[in-house]
Structure 1
Amino acid sequence: MIPTQPTNKELSLGFLGVGWIGRNRMEAILKNTKARAAAITEPNSENLDAAKKSAKNAILKSSPEALFAEEDLDGIVIATPSAMHAKQSMDALKSGKAVFCQKPLGRTAEEVKQVVEASRNADKLLAVDLSYRYTKAFKAVYDTIQKGEIGEIFAVDLTFHNAYGPDKEWFYDIKKSGGGCVMDLGIHLVDLALWSLDFPEIKAVRSHLFHKGNKLTSFEEHVEDFASVNLTSEKDQVINLECSWHVSAGKDAIIEATFYGTKGGASFKNVNGSFYDFKAEKYHGTQTETLVNPPDEWSGRAGIVWVENLLENNRFDEKSATEFIKTALVIDRIYGK
């Protein structure tokens, strides 16, 4: 009998931006999937040299346009500053490539809608690196909620304090970033809450945004470094969000998403101030059940899933695209847009 040949083709990918995050995602994809790094675009020579250690055969393209013009690429992984995400995603999709983009996909809901439309018109798969969805800890919380084990969810508390804050200037420029700590950190937790609650309509939003302890009244000079936000869903579920940069947290980070239901509670939280180690717990009265403990190599998992989906079906995905828009609309409302 003639042995059956494997049917899975090797994907040919282009990587636009291979700084720390872009390189991390590239290495995870190359290590764990049937994909190769065929081409790279990166203006920083140190970043490029580091990336070439993992992608020895990748060719260097001098510009995003040159990268998108490469006909044999199946998809593009985008890890550039936020202001570039929407246009680069649209250009890549229009050139017939699937896209995996760092968040935020756009600085406004309008930009996100334009990218989604480009994905629909090209009929190519679009994904965003909403990485916490893919941690074992949050997946355990999500499954607990979806199975009804803690009853109907009526309240959610979300916290993301980063005691350091970003080290690149563009994060602090509204035109380049689209926003401050809400756009950088809060968007992850808003996505987790909406996803877990099956994306209900949000009927009310109250925001308190601060810069260095003072209420922020204009984004022309500053972006928020502390936010306290209250969302109310169409089902009267209350979602409370606090996030910050540079706050005196007493540790590197506080990252938590806690869900309160009619039969109990469940929580996703970081361990000992870590940005990487997470645990999941389920609560019943005064009792705590641990669902997941670290370690978990999760940081590149969203990209791995995108490649697996790409191998299976490189088509426009209406469900995920609608979710991207719904989250972006909520972020817009937090900013009073």
Structure 2
Amino acid sequence: MKKTKIAIIGNGSISHVHMAAYRKLPNVEVVANCDINEERAKEFAQKYEISHCYTDYNEMLEKEELDGVSICTWNNVHAPATIAALNAGVNVLCEKPLALSAKEAEEMVQTAKKNDKLLMVGFVRRFGLNTKVLKDRIDQGDLGQIYYAKTGCIRRVGNPGGWFSDKKRSGGGPLIDLGVHMIDLAWYLMGKPKAVSVMGSTYDLVGARSNIKGIQQYRSADYSDYNDVEDFAVGFIKFDNGATLVVETSWAQHIKKDYLYLELYGSKAGATMEPELEIFTEKNSFLIDEKPIIDPTFINFQTMFDREIEHFIDCIQNGTPCISPGEDGLELMKILDAIYESAKTGHEVRIK
């Protein structure tokens, strides 16, 4: 079988996870990589024995014959790099969030349609086995009508700094970084209803907390302690089917420990996805707690990326319908835009 030729644009931390996944696929060859930092690009190419290394993705797209690209850049490069790749006839897997705004995301989606190419967004949590188990149960009707969900990802100290906390490059703080995952996961499990209105608040009262000692912290590859984004955000989202989703997320809060949660409330049963998968229902007039047994290796970080990358390649090679198409990324950007706009104005924002 002819190998699918892939390039990776942006060679920071997440690109190594993508690369590890591609290397496990026998029918795939990563033939090029690109990063604006020439030294980092060369180190990446040398580490993974990649033939062609670039600092300009436009030059790479012109010179290389590619089937697909992973875009692992700063958020502000997602739209221009994706549009350039699609116009070059290349399929795209773009890391989340899809763009800095819904306006950019709309242009990306339209460019994919115009060129009849795949635009897939990196909603990697959709590829966890725990997600699949719960989604199957929901699709079978076991939860009934899901009318309410709440989710959050709260860190005590967890601002990555660098480009993450520079609004010009990131578009925002923990809401666009962590919240996008949690909103998407809940929305996906709820059946992807149409968001119609949003109320939101953001706060920047705690700060980056870069002064904290005695613990290990994840730092971006280009770390600096510059910070002009929120450290906490909360959103209240109403959907066209009457369902409601509440989300909260932070990089820095005065709490005892980090926590992650996702809860779904249905007319027949409820469920949690985080911190662990459980389903709560009743049978023969008795309350029942169900806890599916899942090997932790099927829901770890790298395994989810492995499944995501494998799906991307399957879509390219076999035309398999995409689990996380660009259109979904656009809907998430509309929600994120609305939360930020509501926080700015203090009013409810209607989504057209």
Tell me whether the two structures share a fold, i.e. TM-score over 0.5: yes
Pick from 28, 43, 54 the counterpart of residue 49 of structure 1. 43
Looking at structure 2, the residues matched to 260 and 314 of structure 1 have their Cα atoms a distance apart, in angstroms, of 31
Deviation readout 1:134-181 (Å, 9 max, x if unpaired)? 011122222221111111111101111133424232222222111111
Q: Mark the CA change 1:33 to 1:232 in structure 2 (over 3 Å): closer, same or farther.
A: farther
Q: Please state whether the residue corresponding to 2:86 is helix, strand or coil.
A: helix
- Considering only aligned residues, what root-mean-square deviation do their CA atoms show, in Å? 2.3
Greater shift in the superposed pair: 87-96 or 37-46: 37-46
Match status 1:170 vs 2:163? yes
Pick from 235, 238, 247 the counterpart of residue 232 of structure 1. 238
Confirm or deny: 8 A CA contact 2:45 2:52 kept in the other structure.
no
Pick from 260, 267, 278 the counterpart of residue 255 of structure 1. 260
The residue number in structure 1 matching 2:74 is 81
Structure 2: 5+ residue stretches without partners: 208-226, 343-352
1:241 Cα deviation (Å)?
A: 0.5
Pick from 297, 319, 328 the counterpart of residue 295 of structure 1. 297
The residue number in structure 2 matching 1:282 is 279
Looking at structure 2, the residues matched to 122 and 115 of structure 1 have their Cα atoms a distance apart, in angstroms, of 11
Q: Mark the CA change 1:287 to 1:172 in structure 2 (over 3 Å): closer, same or farther.
A: same
Q: How many residues align?
A: 313
Q: Please state whether the residue corresponding to 1:282 is helix, strand or coil.
A: strand
The residue number in structure 2 matching 1:97 is 90
Confirm or deny: 8 A CA contact 2:263 2:270 kept in the other structure.
yes
Matching of residues 1-337 of structure 1 within 5 Å = 8-42=1-35, 43=37, 45-46=39-40, 48-50=42-44, 52-53=46-47, 55-213=48-206, 222-251=228-257, 253-270=258-275, 279-284=276-281, 287-291=288-292, 292-296=294-298, 297-313=303-319, 320-336=325-341
Looking at structure 1, the residues matched to 26 and 239 of structure 2 have their Cα atoms a distance apart, in angstroms, of 39
The residue identity in structure 1 corresponding to 2:314 is E
Looking at structure 2, the residues matched to 57 and 205 of structure 1 have their Cα atoms a distance apart, in angstroms, of 45
Confirm or deny: 8 A CA contact 1:173 1:222 kept in the other structure.
yes
Q: Mark the CA change 1:210 to 1:255 in structure 2 (over 3 Å): closer, same or farther.
A: same
The TM-score normalised by the length of structure 1 is: 0.86
Q: Mark the CA change 1:164 to 1:300 in structure 2 (over 3 Å): closer, same or farther.
A: farther
Looking at structure 2, the residues matched to 168 and 189 of structure 1 have their Cα atoms a distance apart, in angstroms, of 21
Looking at structure 2, the residues matched to 167 and 318 of structure 1 have their Cα atoms a distance apart, in angstroms, of 29
The TM-score normalised by the length of structure 2 is: 0.82
1:50 Cα deviation (Å)?
A: 4.6
The residue identity in structure 1 corresponding to 2:11 is V
Looking at structure 1, the residues matched to 195 and 271 of structure 2 have their Cα atoms a distance apart, in angstroms, of 22
Q: Please state whether the residue corresponding to 1:118 is helix, strand or coil.
A: helix
The residue identity in structure 2 corresponding to 1:322 is E
1:319 Cα deviation (Å)?
A: 8.4
Q: Mark the CA change 1:33 to 1:183 in structure 2 (over 3 Å): closer, same or farther.
A: farther
The residue identity in structure 2 corresponding to 1:150 is L
Looking at structure 1, the residues matched to 38 and 261 of structure 2 have their Cα atoms a distance apart, in angstroms, of 34
Looking at structure 1, the residues matched to 18 and 201 of structure 2 have their Cα atoms a distance apart, in angstroms, of 34
Deviation readout 1:24-76 (Å, 9 max, x if unpaired)? 111111213511110111225356425533x3143112311111113411111
1:249 Cα deviation (Å)?
A: 4.4
Structure 1: 5+ residue stretches without partners: 1-7, 215-220, 271-278
Deviation readout 1:259-279 (Å, 9 max, x if unpaired)? 111111111114xxxxxxxx4
Confirm or deny: 8 A CA contact 2:97 2:329 kept in the other structure.
no
Confirm or deny: 8 A CA contact 1:18 1:51 kept in the other structure.
no
Confirm or deny: 8 A CA contact 1:32 1:304 kept in the other structure.
yes
Looking at structure 2, the residues matched to 62 and 238 of structure 1 have their Cα atoms a distance apart, in angstroms, of 44
Looking at structure 2, the residues matched to 318 and 151 of structure 1 have their Cα atoms a distance apart, in angstroms, of 22
Looking at structure 1, the residues matched to 110 and 77 of structure 2 have their Cα atoms a distance apart, in angstroms, of 17
Looking at structure 2, the residues matched to 65 and 44 of structure 1 have their Cα atoms a distance apart, in angstroms, of 15
Q: Mark the CA change 1:213 to 1:62 in structure 2 (over 3 Å): closer, same or farther.
A: closer
Looking at structure 1, the residues matched to 304 and 195 of structure 2 have their Cα atoms a distance apart, in angstroms, of 30
Q: Percent identity?
A: 26
Q: Mark the CA change 1:24 to 1:321 in structure 2 (over 3 Å): closer, same or farther.
A: closer
Q: Please state whether the residue corresponding to 1:93 is helix, strand or coil.
A: helix
